[in-house]
Amino acid sequence: MQERCKEVEEEIEELESAITDGEMHMLTFVSAEETARLSRELNANRAALDQLLKEWEEVSQLIAAQA
């Protein structure tokens, strides 16, 4: 369980970084198509982050219950 918790934490960090990068790229207009692509990517990353945060909470609670 602790190993999975660490994996989830690393994945969360990666997604948070990807979201930050995507938001920075959205500040510079390139084209409507690129803006749409970045928007879809940001939405997907945010949804994945939400799922990982839920998983992290569940795993953390299991670890705490075992202690």
> How high does pLDDT run on average in the chain?
97
The answer on pLDDT for 45 being more than 90 is: yes
DSSP 22-53: HHHHHTS---HHHHHHHHHHHHHHHHHHHHHH
**Domain residue ranges of the chain, discontinuous segments joined by +:** 2-66
Distance CA 4, CA 27 (A): 35
Report the percentage of the chain scoring pLDDT > 70: 100
The predicted model gives 8-13 an average pLDDT of 98
Output the pLDDT for position 67. 81
Sequence-distant (≥ 6) Cβ neighbours of residue 66 within 8 angstroms: 1
The predicted model gives 1-7 an average pLDDT of 95
Which tens digits make up the pLDDT trace of 13-30?
Answer: 999 999 999 999 999 999
